[in-house]
């Protein structure tokens, strides 16, 4: 997830671009750059690292010009380095682009363009856009963009400029956000409203399959096929703090709502009609078939995703999986060798305990696959293979969208292994792929249906200091993550138990009014969970259940029911957690806690 900003008007562009990028740095901070047209040439300034490095470069060079484009990068294709930083240009330097998203067929296009004589500088997918514009340009930038869009596949938003038409900016959107800001004799464009709100609160929001042609005095909206689009101007009524969070009160709530978009981005290019396609993993078929055991090693929320992954991989691939807390892994002399595959999971890619476990595993001869969110992180560099989460920067300390992406990583990796090791038939694989494709829309439905009811009964949580989460099978793993979310941001003491273990001691803590959150999404053990719910109800606990739509029986046993859409049993985890994230958020907010920065915690744990 990267940040795009553009300006065309009568003011100096560089200052406006850098200021806009500062509001978008949450979208990426691996590198940044701007291109400003000075009347003769496009001057491109780029830097690696946080935006402050670019700001210093701009102060030193002081580019002059009233039209320009800028970008802050969160790397997907190519490591964070100067050559890979945006903006990118073509062979002539006359066409400049910035881009957010993924061009799925860039390798094929790159090869074609090289054969035609184009020379590439970077490792990025973005650079093909500049060369395609050069190839297709015949005097009209809009038409060149339209021909480029007809050639590429993927999810993207890109903004283009050419010195041949210096009073024009053209942008297009497909599955990545773009907002046009309307001024007097000047126009703005960005990935998000905060980047332009300082200058205007009158905006157009582009939809998928739409593009915009900007000049100083006109804004032309159209489809990518050139059909005119009419849209009412939206007047934004946000204060600066609200703008940073796109109108949400906290980053955590914003990130909960971003999960459908984040998961769609994760899946882009990784599912096709034949099943799962993971071109970034270069295992041989023989290698994947030789592994006799898998270890999953992680900490905290990532560890909980591994517990779900264990169930999914063992069910679909029929290979034993052990899940270890990374801080304990090295000290138990794990029984691993060349026939063992190790999966390490870390949002930041810098978690010290997980990095130590990675090195321990490699030292014992195992191959390591990393599931991580940050390109260029230490874990990403040192792992043998990497599957990136692609959720963009996660600002709130309590992980939400990274966690659901971790679950999705385990889902598709299990299917990937299953199809290669032939433990999954074509019909079962097709059903699983179909179910996974529905998950982003199902999460949107959960948020719409459950957020208001959760707001209301979360008020009751303000009086509690203890809560219990119970579940069986994969629901137990979800209960562990739900309890972690509640305690880390609301400071309510919360514990998760395998529901069948209640009678072995924990029932002593259940008294009248004790809140119990019971997960009942597994049809194969549903009756067992109902019995466990009755055990706590007999002690007058206050029960909230998470269950599948259409389950009327659960209402007889629970005080509240939060429903999730029906899906394949192994995939309910990613749906069930959404309501628990919302519960933790609203409980924390109502208790007056610092939701985004809970006490004593940090986003990236870089000490053992």
- If asked whether residues 183 and 275 sit together in one domain, one would say no
Cβ atoms 411, 376 nearer than 8 A: no
Non-local (6+) Cβ contacts of 565 within 8 A are: 438, 442, 445, 446, 548, 549, 575
- If asked whether residues 344 and 222 sit together in one domain, one would say no
**CATH number of the domain that residue 198 is part of:** 3.60.20.10
Cβ atoms 426, 296 nearer than 8 A: no
- DSSP β-bridge partners for residue 46: 33
**Side-by-side strand order, sheet with 154-162:** 88-89, 95-103, 154-162, 169-174, 210-215, 218-223
- Residue 355 resides in a domain: yes
Active site residue 23: no
Active site residue 91: no
What pLDDT does 605 receive?
57
> Within 13 A of 465's CA, how many CA atoms are on the CB side?
1
DSSP 156-178: EEEEEEETTSTT-EEEEEEBS--
- If asked whether residues 282 and 167 sit together in one domain, one would say no
Least confident of 206-210, 254-258, 277-281, 501-505: 501-505
N-to-C CA span, the chain: 29
Non-local (6+) Cβ contacts of 125 within 8 A are: 76, 77, 99, 102, 103, 106, 154
- If asked whether residues 258 and 304 sit together in one domain, one would say yes
Give the domain range for residue 199.
3-243
Q: What is the mean pLDDT of residues 361-375?
A: 92
pLDDT(329) > 50: yes
What pLDDT does 20 receive?
93
Domain end call among 243, 275, 293:
243
What b/e readout covers 591-604, taking b as 16+ CB neighbours within 10 angstroms? bebebbbbeeeebe
For 242-256, write each residue's pLDDT tens digit. 667 888 999 999 999
- If asked whether residues 361 and 442 sit together in one domain, one would say yes
Provide the 10 A C-beta neighbour count for residue 192: 21
Non-local (6+) Cβ contacts of 65 within 8 A are: 12, 13, 14, 36, 37, 38, 39, 43
What pLDDT does 601 receive?
75
Instruction: Considering the candidates 2, 245, 299, 401, report the single residue annotated as catalytic.
Output: 2
C-alpha dihedral, 297 to 303 to 304 to 307, nearest 10°: 10
- If asked whether residues 238 and 262 sit together in one domain, one would say no
The whole-angstrom separation of Cα 250 and Cα 395 is: 10
* Greater pLDDT, 486 or 30: 486
Cis peptide before 87 (omega within 30 of 0): yes
What pLDDT does 603 receive?
58
What pLDDT does 351 receive?
86
For 509-529, write each residue's pLDDT tens digit. 888 888 999 999 999 998 998
The whole-angstrom separation of Cα 256 and Cα 241 is: 18
Question: What's CA 108's distance to the chain center, in Å?
Answer: 26
Q: What is the mean pLDDT of residues 568-596?
A: 95
Q: What is the mean pLDDT of residues 569-594?
A: 96
Pick from 236, 246, 170, 174: which is nearest to 204 by CA?
A: 236
Instruction: Considering the candidates 79, 198, 293, 603, report the single residue annotated as catalytic.
Output: 603
Provide the 10 A C-beta neighbour count for residue 467: 24
Q: Which two tokens stand for residue 496?
A: 């998760």
pLDDT(324) > 50: yes
Q: What is the mean pLDDT of residues 541-552?
A: 92
- Residue 604 resides in a domain: no
Provide the 10 A C-beta neighbour count for residue 11: 13
- Residue 218 resides in a domain: yes
* Greater pLDDT, 513 or 468: 468
Pick from 48, 123, 108: which is nearest to 78 by CA?
A: 123
- If asked whether residues 197 and 276 sit together in one domain, one would say no
Kindly report the average pLDDT of the chain as a whole number.
91
Domain end call among 243, 277, 297:
243
Sign of CA pseudo-dihedral 323, 325, 326, 332? negative
- If asked whether residues 152 and 289 sit together in one domain, one would say no
Provide the 10 A C-beta neighbour count for residue 265: 24
C-alpha dihedral, 19 to 20 to 25 to 29, nearest 10°: -80
- Residue 547 resides in a domain: yes
- Residue 41 resides in a domain: yes
The whole-angstrom separation of Cα 600 and Cα 35 is: 41
The whole-angstrom separation of Cα 521 and Cα 545 is: 9
- If asked whether residues 195 and 132 sit together in one domain, one would say yes
Residue 352 confidence class, pLDDT cut points 50, 70, 90? confident
- Residue 274 resides in a domain: yes
- If asked whether residues 402 and 490 sit together in one domain, one would say yes
- Residue 606 resides in a domain: no
Number of domains in the chain: 2
The whole-angstrom separation of Cα 196 and Cα 182 is: 9
Cβ atoms 340, 294 nearer than 8 A: yes
The whole-angstrom separation of Cα 138 and Cα 165 is: 12
- If asked whether residues 85 and 223 sit together in one domain, one would say yes
Q: Which two tokens stand for residue 36?
A: 């400003």
Domain end call among 179, 209, 243:
243
- Residue 40 resides in a domain: yes
Angle at 269 between CA 264 and CA 275, to 5 degrees: 100
The whole-angstrom separation of Cα 601 and Cα 455 is: 25
Percent of the chain with pLDDT over 90: 70
C-alpha dihedral, 412 to 414 to 417 to 422, nearest 10°: -110
**CATH number of the domain that residue 554 is part of:** 3.40.50.10490
The whole-angstrom separation of Cα 512 and Cα 535 is: 12
What pLDDT does 102 receive?
86
pLDDT(387) > 50: yes
Percent of the chain with pLDDT over 70: 97
Cβ atoms 407, 308 nearer than 8 A: yes
Q: What is the mean pLDDT of residues 339-346?
A: 96
Q: What is the mean pLDDT of residues 426-449?
A: 95
- If asked whether residues 169 and 299 sit together in one domain, one would say no
Residue 126 confidence class, pLDDT cut points 50, 70, 90? very high
What pLDDT does 607 receive?
44
pLDDT(41) > 80: yes
The runs of H, that is alpha helices, within 215-299 are: 240-244, 251-257, 259-267, 285-290
Cβ atoms 378, 397 nearer than 8 A: no
């Amino acid at each position: 997830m990267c940040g795009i900003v553009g300006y065309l008007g009568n003011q100096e562009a560089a200052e406006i671009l850098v200021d806009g990028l500062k509001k978008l740095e949450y979208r990426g901070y691996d590198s940044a750059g701007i291109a400003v047209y000075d009347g003769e040439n496009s001057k491109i300034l780029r830097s690696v690292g946080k935006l402050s490095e670019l700001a210093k470069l701009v102060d030193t060079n002081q580019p002059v010009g009233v039209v320009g484009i800028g970008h802050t990068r969160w790397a997907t294709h190519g490591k964070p380095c100067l050559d890979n930083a945006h903006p990118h240009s073509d062979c002539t330097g006359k066409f400049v682009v910035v881009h957010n998203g993924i061009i799925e067929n860039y390798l094929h296009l790159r090869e074609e363009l090289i054969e035609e004589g184009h020379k590439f500088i970077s490792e990025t997918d973005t650079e093909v856009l500049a060369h395609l514009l050069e190839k297709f340009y015949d005097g009209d930038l809009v038409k060149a963009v339209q021909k480029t869009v007809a050639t590429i596949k993927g999810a993207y938003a890109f903004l283009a400029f050419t010195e041949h038409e210096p009073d024009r900016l053209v942008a297009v959107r497909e599955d990545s956000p773009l907002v046009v800001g309307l001024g007097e004799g000047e126009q703005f464009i960005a990935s998000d409203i905060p980047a332009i709100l300082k200058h205007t609160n009158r905006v157009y929001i582009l939809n998928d399959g739409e593009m915009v042609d900007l000049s100083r005095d006109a804004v032309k909206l159209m489809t990518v096929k050139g059909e005119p689009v009419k849209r009412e101007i939206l007047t934004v009524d946000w204060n600066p703090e609200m703008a940073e969070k796109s109108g949400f009160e906290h980053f955590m709530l914003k990130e909960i709502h971003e999960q459908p978009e984040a998961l769609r981005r994760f899946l882009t290019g990784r599912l096709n009609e034949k099943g799962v396609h993971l071109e970034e993993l270069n295992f041989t078929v023989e290698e994947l078939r030789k592994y006799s055991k898998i270890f999953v090693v992680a900490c905290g929320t990532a560890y909980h995703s591994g517990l779900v992954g264990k169930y999914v991989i063992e069910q679909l691939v029929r290979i034993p999986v052990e899940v270890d807390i990374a801080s304990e892994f090295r000290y138990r002399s794990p029984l691993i060798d060349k026939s063992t595959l190790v999966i390490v999971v870390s949002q930041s890619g810098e978690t010290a305990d997980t990095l130590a476990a990675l090195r321990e595993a490699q030292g014992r001869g195992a191959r390591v696959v990393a599931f991580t969110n940050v390109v260029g992180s230490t874990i990403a560099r040192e792992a043998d293979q990497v599957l990136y989460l692609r959720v963009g920067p996660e600002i709130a300390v309590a992980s939400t969208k990274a966690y659901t992406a971790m679950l999705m990583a385990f889902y598709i990796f299990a299917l990937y292994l299953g199809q290669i090791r032939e433990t999954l038939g074509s019909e079962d694989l097709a059903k699983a792929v179909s179910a996974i494709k529905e998950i982003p829309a199902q999460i949107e439905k959960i948020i719409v249906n459950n957020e208001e009811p959760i707001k209301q009964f979360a008020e009751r949580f303000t009086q509690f200091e203890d809560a219990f989460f119970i579940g069986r099978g994969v629901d137990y793993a979800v209960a562990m993550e739900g309890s972690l979310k509640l305690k880390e941001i609301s400071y309510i003491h919360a514990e998760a138990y395998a529901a069948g273990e209640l009678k072995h001691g924990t029932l002593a803590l259940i008294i009248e009014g004790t809140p119990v959150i019971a997960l009942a999404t597994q049809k194969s053990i549903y009756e067992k969970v109902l019995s466990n719910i009755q055990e706590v109800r007999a002690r007058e606990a206050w029960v909230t259940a998470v269950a599948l739509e259409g389950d009327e029986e659960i209402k007889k046993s629970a005080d509240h029911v939060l429903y999730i859409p029906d899906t394949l049993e192994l995939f309910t985890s990613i749906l069930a957690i959404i309501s628990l994230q919302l519960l933790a958020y609203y409980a924390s907010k109502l208790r007056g806690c610092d939701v985004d920065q809970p006490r004593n915690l940090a986003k990236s744990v870089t000490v053992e």
